[in-house]
Amino acid sequence: MKSTTPGRARRRVSTSSALVAVAAMAAIGMQAGPAAATPAKPAAGAGQMPAKVSPQEYRALIGKAQSQQGATASELNLGDKVALQTKTVVKDQDGTTHTHYTRTYDGLPVIGGDLIVHRAASGKLERVSRADTHQLKLNTAPSALASTKPATPKAEGSVAPRKVVWMGRDGEAVLAWETVVGGTQQDGTPNRLHVLTDATTGKKIVQWQGVQTGTGRSQYSGTVQLGTSGSGGSYSLRDTGRGNHDTTNLNGGTSGRGTLFTDADDQWGDGTPSNAQTAAVDAAYGAGETWDFYKTVFGRAGIRGDGVGAYSRVHYGRSYVNAFWEDSCFCMTYGDGQGNSKPLTELDVAGHEMTHGVTANTAGLIYEGESGGLNEATSDIMATAIEFWANNSSDVGDYLIGEKINISGNGSPLRYMDRPSKDGSSLDNWGPNAGGVDVHYSSGIANHFYYLLSEGSGSKVINGVSYNSPTADNKPVTGIGREKATAIWYKALTEEFRANTDYKDARRGTLAAASKLYGADSPEYKAVADAWAGVKVGARSGPDDPGPGNPGDTSWAAGTDYKAGDVVTFDGVKYRCLQPHTAQPGWTPAAVPALWEQVA
């Protein structure tokens, strides 16, 4: 394999088959088509592509944002009780910055209240992405507080209830208790279930899972090169060229960091699962390719962008058929599969799991409902792009998820991106129940969108695999290529999506990204609208069937840029825009008279 990290030798590791890395194996996804080292250069808006930011520059950007948190809160008129906390900063090539903040109210964390501040290179505020449209005001000490506080769960790893503010997708906020339930899930995965209950009524509001599932000789990827450390008869699987990423051995355990793999001759594994090093080779290789992909294609230095590597733990439990990402340890963990013979360390699985970390440190998509489906789909989408980019002849790029692990025992992959419902559970298209199904199945909607946007609808063969992707409206979709589709999704993830983003807002975010990268009148922009229409999210781009924000549409829609004087229709009533702005969810003309006036 190639080395994409300059100034560092990568040691060859011989492997026999193909890499396997699955993320909480209920959620991975890949792509097909020729691999490319970088996305196709946009026809317009090249300055909107992510800038290559070194760890030192990233820390400087974070430091600057932190020093201006108070001033920014005042500039946004958030109120005296609100404080901002810088989460991450994304910088574009033209100097534009997108700073993602979380916030507190009266000292309490506001879950779902994150916001993104977009500034020009000059520092001028351009727009703000947020759920609420008015100052947050809430009683943080109601009389019923003590009686509604839940008991601390007895399961190991549980966390006592803490008082928080929950802000839903509609921007409305309530005081709540957040309890974390520990223990172990039925399949052996660690349990970190976050449960929010109303602090006034005691009723459950929402819950989500905090554990996101999903030369050496590897089992899946053939002979690969690894980044190792040491010399003279003492080597370790510590990749100093990639943020000191460690690969450790849990040796059947289910807790702790594990033991760093060491070797005397720097020749790792033998391609069989009976050799404990083989799974480590696959995991280390997958982590290295994922690091290189994000750095080379998007200029991102590691999961957080700060140049610090996560770590990978293999041989978790006994016959554990899963893999997962856990924010609390900043690590990926892989089981050995049925009979301890099929470690879940395939390349797309590693890419899937590490991408959960990228999502956690950018959009922070909450792992439930539609935002949870988008979280899972993001890992599938980026894992697919990584698999194609790696261009490994032993594990060629495809739009199948976890196909080498044979997790079902019948040779079928875990998921299909061209027609997700072929797995028997995933959703091909959006519907009113999309937020009520398991996130690994609602992810099918975005996976299908990504396939349509990349490759288009209908029958085709890519890298020897046959696909046949339908559309919900039975109209064709013309693909724009995997590289452009990936660039659009990444820009939307890091600059537009927030914790509570749903499919409607994902459509808005990807259209905004396509507009910035390629132009609002570009074929790429129209393809995004058409691909979403193909999965029942929004309307087509054509003049006969315009979608929100497209030419010819006069109905109000969140995510649309309005100019003073624009006239829209909302609930059958016409309104005129008073001030230029980007409409946010909930900022309806009827609700925000400062921005709109009714037209007689």
Residue given tokens 């946004």 in the structure block: 76
Strands (DSSP E) contained in 3-158 are 11-13, 17-18, 20-21, 82-91, 97-105, 108-111, 115-119, 125-129
Per-residue buried b or exposed e for 133-166, using 16+ beta carbons within 10 Å of the residue's own CB: beebeeeeeeeeeeebbeeebeeeebeebebbbb
Q: Could you say which of 178, 346, 353, 368 is catalytic?
A: 353
What whole-number distance in Å separates Cα of residue 344 and Cα of residue 321? Answer: 7
The closest alpha carbon to 323, from 213, 218, 210, 439, belongs to 213
Does residue 98 carry a catalytic annotation? no
Report how far residue 466's alpha carbon sits from residue 488's, in angstroms, rounded to the nearest whole number. Answer: 25
Residues contacting residue 95 through CB under 8 Å, at least 6 positions apart: 47, 120, 121
SS3 content of the chain, % helix, strand, coil (to 5): 25, 25, 50
| CB 525, CB 515: distance < 8 Å | yes
- Out of 440, 448, 455, 524, which one is annotated catalytic? 440
The Cα 446–Cα 349 span in angstroms is 18
What does DSSP say about strands 245-249 and 238-239: parallel, antiparallel, or unpaired? antiparallel
- Which contiguous run of DSSP H or E holds residue 224? strand 223-226
In DSSP notation, 301-337 reads -SSSSSS---EEEEEESSS---EEEETTTTEEEEE--
What tokens appear for 46 in the block? 């090249």
CB 23 within 8 A of CB 324: yes
**Catalytic residue list contains 440:** yes
Query: Are 236 and 260 contacting, i.e. CB atoms less than 8 angstroms apart?
Result: yes
Rounded to a whole number, what is the largest CA-CA distance in the chain? 84
Cβ neighbours for 284, distance < 8 A, ≥ 6 positions apart: 216, 226, 227, 237, 239, 245, 247, 312
Q: Would you please indicate which residues are annotated as catalytic (active-site) residues? A: 353, 440
